[in-house]
Chains A and B, each alone.
Chain A
Amino acid sequence: MVLALGATPASAAQRVMSLDQCADQYVMALSPRKAIVGVSMRAGDPDAYLHAQAAGLPRRRASAESILAAQPNVVVRYWGGDALMSRILARRGVTVVDLTDQGGFDGVRQNIRAVASALGARARGEALVADMDGKLAASVGAWHGAPGMYLTPAGFSTGPGTLIDAMLRGAGLDNRTTAPGYVQASMERLVIDQPVGLVLGFFDAYGLSQQLWAPGRRTFVRDLTARRQIASLPGAVLDCPAWFAADGVQAISRAKRAR
């Protein structure tokens, strides 16, 4: 079958494409649907925050050939593609918006505003920011500085400089992981510190028992996560520096209020 170059229905003024699952969420939230000429192949996966909205949108590979065939004038990317591809697109007059790996909600606001500006959707962008800020304001300080820690099934935690650290602090938890970035959690420290709250991430996608070489195979970790878990956040709110990270903050704070 021969692909009709640029034949996907879209407005003449704006043709938007996203290259990965994170960028998909921004594009689907901020762009008029008719302007979207392509989303990533994983846009409809269950772990995508707006996966239901991806139905009916054209899925495309994050390759330069596929992008040029779709003829977008704005491309949004996070991990999809690479700098070489951005260079090719920029030389052809395509606006490339790079979402950045943000260490806090200020950075998320920057991401939202950058995409909204490129798409000419400032009002929608500000509405997303306001919604996010509303959830953050309602959650602030819920745990009053209680020690907490983030843990994934593979035993990773996060410290300062990450959005997840900002999420924990946003709900009033004192993050006990102090090493910056994404780090392997110390099981010994976990046992000694016994943090009041464990915020679990991605446990919806991977059960502890499935991680044969991960901390989850240890009985004490299973017991600890059962006793100390205060929230289990789905991958959909964790794998993208976006406004829905505030949903995670809200879930953590609600866990306190439910006690």
Chain B
Amino acid sequence: MSRLTLTTALVAALGLALAMGLALGEVPLSLAQYLDAFRHPGSAPGEILWALRAPRVVAAAVVGAALGLSGAVMQGLLRNPLAEPGVLGVSAGGGLGAALAIAAGLAVSPEAVQAAALAGALLAGLAVAVAAARFREPEALILFGVALSAFGGALTALVFNLSPSPVSNTEILSWLMGSVANRDWSDIARALLPMAAGLGLCLYAARALLVMTLGEETAALSGLPMERLRAAAVAGAALLTGAAVALAGVIGFVGLAAPHLVRGAVRGDPERVLIPSALTGAVLVVCADLIGRIAPTEIELKLGVVTALFGAPVFALVAWRAARSWSA
């Protein structure tokens, strides 16, 4: 499949997903109410479409794109099909930052929680960048990321453990399950700056990903500034993941699944898979959010729950295939 065909198909799928995310929701609207929403944005149907659903679907698309791109970069950088944004520990850092902010009584200020999550993610990202500069081997970086992730998870559990109030524990848990509900344009705008920086760094580092598949020694002889490109890839993935976590909480499996869904279409090229992965991630998260909204449950399903429910089987499939290739 040509790059243009693939991109066009994914952009069309994203457009369809966004339209469905806008049109469908918890409250069914009649044709007259849709028309009313377009003619009178301040009407009740207009409020539902433009003030609630529109920023929500855009937030879902932005988060999904960031996670999909970050996952593709991680899998290329680490040359590991099981790598995903969470493997670096950046998601765990963001989760810890948010948990600390909520436990400190800052839940009433969404901006403060978002800032704390971003700060936690960036601190974790900084630690990973230091490790990436020190160790070339992808296995070392994976191990460091797993340790960092476990440490962040343990500290978050400690916040739960020491919290004097079940109410704040509920708020932390709710945040950690991930959601784009009630996000508005200002929340999205705050996430866009680090995401744009992350996108720039990832695109800058993209040319190194294909060379890296040839091995460290060949890559070193390629003439490319590999150290700088590797650091840019790590920092870019960390920024994208951190901003996504700050905006929507911890959303698992999208970064893992999205690159795998399009890798075959680009013949495994780790550079060409980046943008399709971002688009696929956006489609996945918009659809997952829609499922969470319209599922006939008493309580809305959290986004992280839906993505994990669908992503876990994909993860199992990837692991299955990887195991088969090892034993072959």
Contacts and interface: CB of A to CB of B under 8 A. Distances in A.
Contacts of B25: 65
Interface string B141-177: 0000000000000000000000111110011001000
Among B27, B113, B165, the most chain A Cβ lie within 10 Å of the Cβ of B27
A71 B52 CA distance: 14
A101 B48 contact: no
A51 B181 CA distance: 29
A181 B30 CA distance: 49
A2 B29 contact: yes
B174 A41 contact: no
Interface in A72-119: 78-79, 82-85, 87-88, 92, 101
B200 interface: no
Contacts of B187: 84
Among B164, B167, B293, the most chain A Cβ lie within 10 Å of the Cβ of B164
A33 B108 CA distance: 30
Given A2-B33, A88-B184, A83 B44 contact: no
A87 B166 contact: no
A134 interface: no
B166 to A, nearest CB: 6
B260 interface: no
Contact of B33 (A5, A42, A78, A101): A5
Contacts of B28: 1-3
B45 interface: yes
Contacts of B227: none
A68 interface: yes
B230 interface: no
A145 interface: no
A66 interface: yes
A71 B29 CA distance: 15
B323 to A, nearest CB: 34
Contact of B52 (A41, A61, A64, A181): A64
Nearest to A183: B164
Contacts of B78: none
Interface string A5-29: 1100000000000000000000000
Nearest to A66: B26
Contacts of A183: 164
A161 B300 contact: no
B300 A79 contact: no
Nearest to A60: B26
A28 B29 CA distance: 29
A65 B44 contact: no
A61 B184 CA distance: 20
A64 B30 CA distance: 19
B51 interface: yes
Contact of A181 (B47, B164, B171): B164
Contacts of B113: 83
A182 interface: yes
B44 A69 contact: yes
B174 A82 contact: yes
A209 interface: no
A15 to B, nearest CB: 12
Contacts of A92: 47, 51
Contact of B48 (A65, A78, A182): A65
B150 to A, nearest CB: 23
A71 B170 CA distance: 27
Nearest to B31: A2
Contacts of A85: 181-182
B107 interface: yes
Contacts of A62: 299
A128 to B, nearest CB: 22
A46 interface: no
Interface string B26-49: 111110010000000000110110
Contacts of A3: 27-29
23 contacts: A1-B28, A2-B30, A3-B28, A5-B27, A5-B33, A5-B44, A41-B298, A41-B299, A61-B26, A63-B293, A64-B182, A68-B48, A82-B110, A82-B182, A83-B107, A83-B109, A83-B113, A85-B181, A87-B182, A88-B52, A92-B51, A181-B163, A182-B165
- 7 closest A-B pairs (Cβ-Cβ)? A181-B164, A84-B182, A41-B298, A2-B30, A69-B27, A5-B44, A85-B182
Interface of A: 1-3, 5-6, 41-42, 61-66, 68-69, 71, 78-79, 82-85, 87-88, 92, 101, 161, 180-183
